[in-house]
Amino acid sequence: MKRFKKMSGILFLCMLVSMLAMPVSAKAAALNRKSITLNVGKSYKLKAKGIKRKITWTSSKKSVATVSKTGVVKARKKGTAVITAKYGKKKLTCKVTVKKPVKGVKSYFKTADLNMSNFSQYFAPEIVRSYDSTWGDPNGYRIFWRAKDLNGWYLFSTKNFAVEYNIQIDYDTEDGRRTMNITTESNFLENLEYDLSSVVITPTRAKGTLTFIKKDAITKIQYRNDETLKRRRVSNCKLIKELDNYMMKNYYEKGLNFMDFFSILLPFE
């Protein structure tokens, strides 16, 4: 029995020694990411695991993404590239997808407070013949404020818009030609005998908040006929999909609608 116990102890010690002597298997070589997606201008550091040798980093398309000697990937432009980590005769790869960052929705809009010091920057007066909506007969003139084309921006909506102005205009009577001066906010002139070539319109007061939208945010402009002017006017517009939720929350049905621009003409009307 004692002999059996002694043999068992020796056998156990031998097994223990052999286990300690066995080499621990090395961790499999790998990169911490097999693929990454970055916006243009952003960076990400790739890390190699289980590699003790020197690593050489390369990019398949440097115009899309570059990689430093330490594995830092820099996104350059939209596209895809493959980053390779080479060690000895072996290599590991990571696919990099570079995207162009989506603009914040607010970047498509800008606002301006209207006053007399900047009024001429945004508007110019224009007189348009007016017609009866039932019979189509001329019934006077309407004074509009033509929104100026602002290099990539459209007037999108107004809030508390008001303009007071002085009109100097000649007209014919039985006693000869007369000159009339009117200070008004109304945009309707009933007399058809006015000499439009003589008119001088001078704004005297202006107020309101103007909201502008970038032209590239508009995908389509829709029109409808305005019988009182005998011309097409903007009735609606379609915007890029990214603005759908923003519009519902902030503007709903407003924007590029002649019902909201009672006395304003857009550059394309």
pLDDT reported for residue 161: 92
What does the pLDDT look like over 157-176, one tens digit per residue? Answer: 888 999 999 988 887 777 88
Alpha helix stretches (DSSP H) within the chain:
2-21, 119-122, 244-250
Pairwise CA distance, residues 255 & 168, whole Å? 33
With beta carbons less than 8 A apart as the criterion, state whether 203 and 187 touch. Answer: no
Q: How far apart are CA 131 and CA 133, in angstroms?
A: 6
Give start and end residues of each alpha helix (H) in 82-140.
119-122
Average confidence score pLDDT of the chain: 84
Reported as a pLDDT band with limits 50, 70 and 90, residue 61 is very high
- Is 4's pLDDT higher than 50? no
Give the residue with greater pLDDT, 258 vs 154. 154
Backbone region of residue 174 per phi and psi (left: phi > 0; alpha: psi in -120 to 50; beta: other values) = alpha
Band of residue 199 on the pLDDT scale cut at 50, 70, 90: confident
Report, as an integer, the average pLDDT of 236-259: 69
Taking only the tens place, the pLDDT of each residue in 132-153 is 989 989 988 889 999 998 889 9
204 burial class (0-12, 13-18, 19+ CB within 10 angstroms)? exposed
Nearest to 81 by CA among 146, 123, 37: 37
- Sorted by where each begins, the domain ranges of the chain are 28-99, 105-265
Structure confidence at residue 35 (pLDDT): 96
Residue 84 above 90 pLDDT? yes
Domain 28-99 CATH class label:
mainly beta
Sign of CA dihedral 235, 241, 243, 244: positive
pLDDT at 24: 46
Residues 6+ apart with CB under 8 A from 229: 128, 129, 130, 131, 142
Q: Considering only 49-58, 123-132, 260-269, which range has the smallest mean pLDDT?
A: 260-269
pLDDT at 227: 92
Least confident of 59-68, 135-144, 180-189, 235-244: 180-189
